[in-house]
Chains A and B, each alone.
Chain A
């Protein structure tokens, strides 16, 4: 079973192009096909993946020899589950659009939508630094159009702000990436190459690494967003059309997480060590700031936006604990968060529809009475967000905190506050929307079948993933270790970490304890 990854990679874009030229009415169906075929393919990938093997499904051909750029794709434990997440969320969004067509130019929408999925998948697959940067920047183009053309409110200003904010980071990363390639080639006296494997184990001086690190870190932190780079987020979240927001919040920010693990830690280990503390502190501030903001916002989108910021703060801490547990927890949590945030966003639309079009929690309330299923689904997603034992988020946060405790006790203790705060803001949102006094314009009704077809599978996925995260843990374990190997070699902790018992066992105990809860 070895279908080239390129097919999966370009499938959505090609179908997007097809949708753009076919008659208007077909657009959303072509779009569906564009999103569901990769989903089917990814199921095969997950079943077929060999956790002990290294990169699999490798495609590796020279692309631009002059610049040492290779067209190099592969799947390994680091990106496998993020690819799963990507395809799931894009499929869910496509389905949502099929049921609720966009209000104008559906063909153009399908086109940009397809490009977006290809760009995200490309960034995840890329095993070449230049290719990664290319796809990472490319993600912005369709998002720019999607927000600007189909967004809400002050969409043009929001999308320009979003793109400029994130592209400034990305462009600095571009410079850093080129510099990394050139400097490593000079140091090793080799021809220029951007293949990530060729860049690992370089002998760049710590000072150089620190500069390069700043370029990469800025790009990723803006994309996430982490404190203090969240300036674009509120406007962007408010303006984004919902299906776009789902994959943007769910997946695009995760590519940044992935970038840290795939590129920064292996290639710039000295810098990662140097910046460990500042980044962890940024993570803690993101948690505290995000949580506090999520608690004070009344716009449901922004509550989720700031809660994402807090969650990503966790992930940063996990990554920069520079332990295998932390790294693995970060991957798991990235997947979890995407999976959890998507249904909640869809639910927000339904809530707004029932509350006279307002997305403000002050206008909602009392919705649960006539919509128990909707409330139930929302509750499951909300509980998963606040990492109730039994959810995969619990396992993820557990691993992250475990890693953090091992490296920095104080940070871990502070981060722990975030766990508690998550329950505050999520439950506040749930109670204010579902219970409490009925809002002025609220007309509650149950979830429709079509909406259920989008939301129920996502919630089931949360449950399934929560009850059985082992597969993801097993499959990501080796790669997570590989990702921090270079750093651990610098600290001399490599041997110590290798002697540690398998992480999956810890994951299993965590889940087992969770299963006792209802």
Chain B
């Protein structure tokens, strides 16, 4: 019977081993979701994150295990080549760090631990599908599986209006992006008659459809759709708002993993499927890259919210990384891979510090939360310093080699001016990166006085408020210290845990004044919230940035493997 069935029904030959990471993530997500339903709060708050971490580690390990096997799975719907595997490891890594950052966050508590972490795992799964897609259908599938959990995750901090707004905004704009992408994919199918990347590449390589309006509109729409996800200007406007409003661990995850996934699929689509039409899309994409660098770097200047600043910086970084796609060479793919890894580490270090400071100061993600960090908390000050310097491309960090690699790739294929654009963009970026470093290490005399006088958190910091206004507010707040010793102080002083929670509320809730009073009473020192895992993430990422900046060879090897297994460049 079986033999007859095998002879008549052609079942797809499935390489289950290659699908391992996806299976692990799926199973893990379900288990995590179910575990989240347990009654015991301890199980929910501890077991669920542990299981999520375990899932991510298993998935990452399964991916590492099949390095260099470059398997086509599910009738070439997916290709687990080295790029896909490297990205899988990267997503899982980012996922683990996100779990660590979320551990004491309010968001999982608001949304339910099971749901929160399960959504995270599903998002990672979507990213893996997206990064390994070889078919237009899987592209869209992965894109949606990645997006939908993120829309929800952005809004998980239910008690914060900003979070809800962020989720809604992301949903609406993300849907526009999805629509563009879907339309583009459909047109591409119409133009080439194929959904498989290799078949598309053949059709495009034939050259007949090169000037075809249908084909060109398809490219334009696909690029638009993916540009939304990668926050490439001018489709980046959602980025700062969503990043600012979303719970910071989610922001960190979106900033690094989503961007990596989007760039992975951009490089796959454009450097594999439609690489034959490179002369058509490369100039447009180069223009986008330059605009992106410019918009991102200019936008980041003058942001007082560090999350917004990092959002714009991530826009700029996307511009740099697009260069790796535009050159459409093996070297470009390698440079992109290298830079993506560097990008993840640099940003994770920065976000971890922001998370830590949000909980410690009640100033939210305002840059003033970092003021004087160098003297106060060296274990946080160094990571953010290294992250900022690395993002700016200073030597002895990964950012330096990443930029050199990208410039190398650009010059190598005759795009020297893009290399120049990268360095000019980087020089602009110094303005805001150094501002953060200056805030950490060089609190100017006036501002340190202001910090000393400030009943921290007494006044919700509105992002974008001018520093002058802040100072005025400071002096006013300092002039009325009476609130400090009212009985509310004692009511506000609850368990350690509660205070942490209240603090995460960004100081936007009305109890801010009480907490400030509490702090004034206790002493000027910001409370030391016990959060070793956040500090560990920051320190580990920063150490990696430095270490791989001095000994970048292993990462170069990985990038080379990725490049060699990628696509069909000559």
What residues make up the interface of A, taking CB atoms closer than 8 Å to B?
64-67, 105, 108, 130, 133-135, 137-138, 140-141, 144-145, 148-149, 155-156, 159-160, 163-164, 167-168, 171-172, 174-175, 178-179, 181-183, 186, 192
Residue of B nearest to A139 (CB): B395
Q: B552: which A residues are within 8 A, CB to CB?
A: 64
What residues make up the interface of B, taking CB atoms closer than 8 Å to A?
374-375, 389, 393-396, 400-401, 403-405, 407-408, 411-412, 416, 419-420, 422-424, 426-427, 430-431, 434-435, 437-438, 441-442, 444, 552-553, 556-557, 559-560
Tell me the complex Cα distance, A45–B411, Å.
40
Tell me the complex Cα distance, A216–B403, Å.
17
Asked whether B556 lies within 8 Å of A178 as measured between CB atoms, the reply is no
Q: B557: which A residues are within 8 A, CB to CB?
A: 66
Residue of A nearest to B443 (CB): A156
Can you list 26 residue pairs at the A/B interface with Cβ under 8 Å?
A: A64-B552, A65-B556, A66-B556, A66-B560, A67-B556, A105-B375, A134-B395, A134-B396, A137-B395, A145-B441, A156-B444, A159-B438, A159-B442, A164-B430, A164-B434, A168-B427, A168-B430, A171-B424, A172-B420, A172-B427, A174-B404, A174-B407, A178-B407, A178-B411, A178-B419, A181-B408
Asked whether A178 lies within 8 Å of B438 as measured between CB atoms, the reply is no
Q: B556: which A residues are within 8 A, CB to CB?
A: 64-67
Besides A67-B405, A168-B427, 8 other CB < 8 A contacts? A108-B374, A134-B396, A141-B394, A141-B395, A156-B438, A164-B431, A174-B407, A192-B408
Tell me what chain B mostly uses at the interface: helix, strand, loop, or mixed: helix
Smallest beta-carbon distance B447→chain A, Å? 10
Smallest beta-carbon distance A426→chain B, Å? 34
Are A167 and B427 CB-contacts (below 8 A) given A64-B556, A67-B408, A175-B422?
yes
Asked whether A175 lies within 8 Å of B423 as measured between CB atoms, the reply is yes
Smallest beta-carbon distance A27→chain B, Å? 15
Asked whether B408 lies within 8 Å of A171 as measured between CB atoms, the reply is no
Asked whether B394 lies within 8 Å of A138 as measured between CB atoms, the reply is yes
Asked whether B442 lies within 8 Å of A148 as measured between CB atoms, the reply is yes
Tell me the complex Cα distance, A108–B542, Å.
18
Asked whether A163 lies within 8 Å of B441 as measured between CB atoms, the reply is no
Asked whether A164 lies within 8 Å of B442 as measured between CB atoms, the reply is no
Q: B408: which A residues are within 8 A, CB to CB?
A: 67, 178, 181-182, 192
Tell me the complex Cα distance, A267–B513, Å.
65
What 3 pairs between A and B have smallest CB-CB spacing? A66-B556, A171-B423, A148-B442
Asked whether B407 lies within 8 Å of A167 as measured between CB atoms, the reply is no
Residue of A nearest to B439 (CB): A156
Asked whether A135 lies within 8 Å of B395 as measured between CB atoms, the reply is yes
Q: A174: which B residues are within 8 A, CB to CB?
A: 393, 403-404, 407, 423
Tell me the complex Cα distance, A179–B112, Å.
53
Smallest beta-carbon distance B549→chain A, Å? 10
Asked whether A175 lies within 8 Å of B407 as measured between CB atoms, the reply is yes
Tell me the complex Cα distance, A109–B178, Å.
52
Asked whether A67 lies within 8 Å of B395 as measured between CB atoms, the reply is no
Q: A135: which B residues are within 8 A, CB to CB?
A: 395
Interface core residue of B395, B403, B435 (most chain A CB under 10 Å): B395
Q: B560: which A residues are within 8 A, CB to CB?
A: 66
Q: B389: which A residues are within 8 A, CB to CB?
A: 141
Residue of A nearest to B407 (CB): A178
Tell me the complex Cα distance, A135–B408, Å.
19
Q: B375: which A residues are within 8 A, CB to CB?
A: 105
Asked whether A178 lies within 8 Å of B427 as measured between CB atoms, the reply is no
Asked whether B438 lies within 8 Å of A164 as measured between CB atoms, the reply is no
Are A156 and B442 CB-contacts (below 8 A) given A168-B427, A174-B404?
yes
Residue of A nearest to B550 (CB): A63
Tell me the complex Cα distance, A298–B49, Å.
66
Asked whether B442 lies within 8 Å of A67 as measured between CB atoms, the reply is no
Q: B437: which A residues are within 8 A, CB to CB?
A: 144
Smallest beta-carbon distance A319→chain B, Å? 25
Are A138 and B411 CB-contacts (below 8 A) given A149-B441, A167-B430, A179-B419?
no
Smallest beta-carbon distance A382→chain B, Å? 34
Residue in B393, B404, B426 whose beta carbon sits within 8 Å of that of A67 in the complex: B404
